[in-house]
Structure formats: C-alpha cells, structure tokens
A = this chain, B = another copy of it.
Amino acid sequence: VHLAARELLAQRDLAEVTVAAVAERSGVHPTSIYRRWGTLNELLLDVVLETTAEAVPTLDTGSLRGDLARYLLDSMRSLDTSIGVAAARILLFLPATEEGRRSRREYWTRRAAALQPIFDRAVGRGERVPDTEDAVETLLAPLYFRRFVTGRDITEQLVSSLVDRALPD
C-alpha cells in the first residue's frame, strides 16, 4: 500500500491520488486501507514521513552545528521532489477542523522525533541543545516560506544563519 501510494504521489496530480487508485495499484481492498489508516490524508502523511526519513537522514558530522546544517540542506532538496511538494500541499489542504489540526500536529511531532538522534548525540558530546520542535520551526519555516510563498533565493548564507539561530546562545 505504501509503495503504491508513493508511486502515485510521484507520478500523478495530488487530486488523482485517491484511496480507490491506491487500492487498485496495490491489490488491497479499499475497506482494508480505511480500516488501517482511517482517511486518505493519514495514509498519505504516513507515506510522506517514511519517504522524508529516507531523503533526510540524520547523519553524524561530529557536531550539532554540522548535523543541523546537513539536515537543512537535505530538507531543502526534498522540498523540490514530487513527494516534498505533495507533502506541502496535503498539509495546506487539511481541513481547518480539529481533525485536520490533529493530523498536522501528529505529522510534525513525528518529523521532529525523526530529528531526535541528532540531539541525543549532541547531549552525549556534552553540547547544549534547543527544544526539538522549536529548532525544527526555526530551521524549516523560512525555507518553506521562500520555497512556497515568497520565491526568494535560498542562499548558503541563509542556511548558515538559520542554524546559528536554532542553536542555544
């Protein structure tokens, strides 16, 4: 089911990625998909998290600063893939209901949790670390804003200053 959804996200318009299409491609009955994931959005966000974890690994560069800079560069690249663009669109189009808000929160709690190894290593080295969710926001908000909203250039200087800002004083 994951593989089918991922292929569809990569190849089709988001509007064409339906539970029926995923069911047909994977050979799994739609009822089973609904039983396991609840809604199409939950399934797609689950697939996006898995893909992002592969595209944005938390490699050990030897310092918190280096790890975060690397994470940011990988995140930036993933924003230009079809899965990255699909993720942004799914999040934006979640309904403005309590359920939509819960899906957003859950997605970002898991995105932040995927970053935890970077912070755990830093603590092990005796470095001071910021709050994980605050750091994710400081690092990623301006990137998303430039990529999807303002269209301003994403420069190395921006990446460097975002990492500085995310580190504790």
Contact = CB atoms under 8 A, between A and B. Distances in A.
Contacts of A105: 150-152
A39 to B, nearest CB: 16
A82 B138 CA distance: 27
A104 interface: yes
A148 interface: yes
Interface string A42-74: 000000000000000000000000000000000
A45 to B, nearest CB: 12
Q: Chain A: interface residue count, which band?
A: 20 to 34
A88 interface: yes
One complex includes copies of this chain to the number of 2
A89 interface: yes
Judged by DSSP, the binding face of A is helix
Interface stretch (A17-25, A30-38, A119-127, A139-147): A139-147
A108 B144 contact: no
26 contacts: A85-B96, A91-B148, A91-B149, A92-B92, A92-B149, A101-B151, A102-B151, A103-B151, A104-B150, A105-B150, A105-B151, A105-B152, A107-B150, A108-B149, A108-B151, A108-B152, A133-B152, A137-B146, A137-B150, A137-B152, A138-B142, A141-B141, A141-B144, A141-B145, A141-B149, A165-B165
Interface of A: 85, 88-89, 91-93, 96, 100-105, 107-108, 133, 137-138, 140-142, 144-146, 148-152, 165
